[in-house]
Structure 1
Amino acid sequence: MTNHVTLFPEGAMCIEVGGELAGSMTGLIVDFDPKHPNHTWEEITDNGYIRNHDPNGNTLYIVDIAVRPSFRKFGLGKLMMQAMYHTVIKLGLDRLLGGGRMPGYHKMANQWTPEEYIRKVTEGNTKDPVISFLLRCGRTPLAVVENYLEDAESLNYGALMEWKNPFK
């Protein structure tokens, strides 16, 4: 956490409710080429330490977002995401990007490819706790990445979800 507030304080935020920590979100700036989206979470975030933060990059990359269970359903995650959108605009970046877990995918993997699963979630034909949340926040799928992170529910896939700066 020290690296987050030292290397890129604009990308580290917490939200309190009644003096109690309710959630947090961290990010870093990277130079991202959407024509070459494949990467792992460990590679792009420096295992979460963000020592690879590049102030001259073009993309605010979300390292993590978390809301404590007792504070979910109040829109706090969406508020933090919107605050990061403002950071993208303020810094003149091209996009906000992050890989989303696909925790519902393992239940449907025998019927759909990961790409089909994301399409079904995007079309509203099925729900996924993470991807549906990111869609409600205004993010759109860019690519599905194999071996994005070690996650049994996602079968190690991640969905890269972006929000493009409308002023670029």
Structure 2
Amino acid sequence: MNKQLYVWHKGKPVEAIIRNYSEQDFDGLIEAQRLSFPPPFPEELLWNKEQLREHVALFREGALCAEVDDRIVGSMTGLIVDISEYGHSHSWETVTDNGYIRNHRPDGNTLYVVDICIIPEYRKTGLGKWLMQSMYETVVQLQLDRLLGGGRMPGYGTKSQEATPQQYVEKVLTGEWSDPVISFLLRCGRVPVGIAENYLQDEESLNHAVIMEWRNPFRASAAK
């Protein structure tokens, strides 16, 4: 994939590229993650080069980055799984092979999102939505049933005394509360289908995630 487009940044259009990443991009990808996920997000959960080599080798179609002025400002990574093997209460470590994706199954039915990030400077430019849209196109191209992934709930930690994780998501859906990650995924067309406990070491989310999907509208089996 190599997609050229414009996004609005600081009040003016700037040219951006969404493409598959390669080994030459690894330093830039790691730096983008560092900027996107500052403490208290665990540093050991940021990409390392061995993980990135597996992404490129096993499923290059699911290894995307966003680039502006020759700088990587975001990325998105996925793998293919048979989701019936995991259900909706899985952990990130289990379903992504701890980020190494060695459990990638080309014969699976679901493109699972391992990670998506945009550095703070380029958030609200639309690049995150363009990365997601590009991954939807990969779902359609490969004739998969759906895209699925766990969304962080960074606002939940401050509301945990008032609501269960499910109640928190319901309040976000009604507009009573706001959550930056869940709201972003909703704007991208994702739909909540479950809650995963102990999904990922994540202090702000109290380790919870909301499992959200996008169904391939061109696959009848995806509607089941």
- TM-score interval for Structure 1 and Structure 2 normalised by the shorter chain: over 0.9
Q: Select the residue among 158, 164, 167 that pairs with 2:215.
A: 164
Equivalent position SS for 2:74: strand
For residue 86 of structure 1, report the CA deviation from its aligned partner: 0.5
Match of 1:74 in 2: 125
Write the distance in 1 (CA, Å) between the matches of 2:85 and 2:205.
22
Match of 1:3 in 2: 54
Write the distance in 2 (CA, Å) between the matches of 1:155 and 1:140.
21
Larger Rg: 1 or 2? 2
Q: Select the residue among 110, 114, 119 that pairs with 2:170.
A: 119
1:65 corresponds to 2:116 = yes
Equivalent position SS for 1:2: helix
For residue 18 of structure 1, report the CA deviation from its aligned partner: 1.3
1:110-139 per-residue CA deviation (whole Å, 9 max, x = no partner) reads 111100111111222211011111011000
TM-score under structure 2 length normalisation: 0.73
Write the distance in 1 (CA, Å) between the matches of 2:87 and 2:138.
24
Q: Which runs of 5+ in 1 are unaligned?
A: none
**AA at the equivalent of 2:97:** D
**AA at the equivalent of 1:93:** L
Equivalent position SS for 2:57: helix
1:7-58 per-residue CA deviation (whole Å, 9 max, x = no partner) reads 0010001111111111100000000029931110000000000000000000
1:89 corresponds to 2:122 = no
- Equivalence map 1:131-150=2 (5 Å): 131-150=182-201
1:45 corresponds to 2:96 = yes
Q: Which runs of 5+ in 2 are unaligned?
A: 1-51, 220-224
Q: Quick check: 2:86–2:95 contact (8 Å CA) kept in 1? A: no
1:153 corresponds to 2:188 = no
Aligned length: 168
Equivalent position SS for 1:160: strand
Write the distance in 1 (CA, Å) between the matches of 2:85 and 2:165.
19
Query: Structure 1 residues 26-35 or 118-127, which shifts more?
Result: 26-35
For residue 72 of structure 1, report the CA deviation from its aligned partner: 1.0
Write the distance in 2 (CA, Å) between the matches of 1:141 and 1:98.
10
Equivalent position SS for 1:33: helix
Moved over 4 A (4+): none
Q: Quick check: 2:155–2:205 contact (8 Å CA) kept in 1? A: yes
Write the distance in 1 (CA, Å) between the matches of 2:125 and 2:211.
25
**AA at the equivalent of 2:59:** F
Write the distance in 1 (CA, Å) between the matches of 2:152 and 2:86.
21
Q: Quick check: 2:96–2:103 contact (8 Å CA) kept in 1? A: yes
Identity among equivalent positions (%) equals: 60
Write the distance in 2 (CA, Å) between the matches of 1:70 and 1:162.
27
Q: Looking at both structures, which has the greater relative contact order when contacts are Cα pairs under 8 Å and sequence separation is at least 6? A: 1
Query: Structure 1 residues 25-34 or 1-10, which shifts more?
Result: 25-34
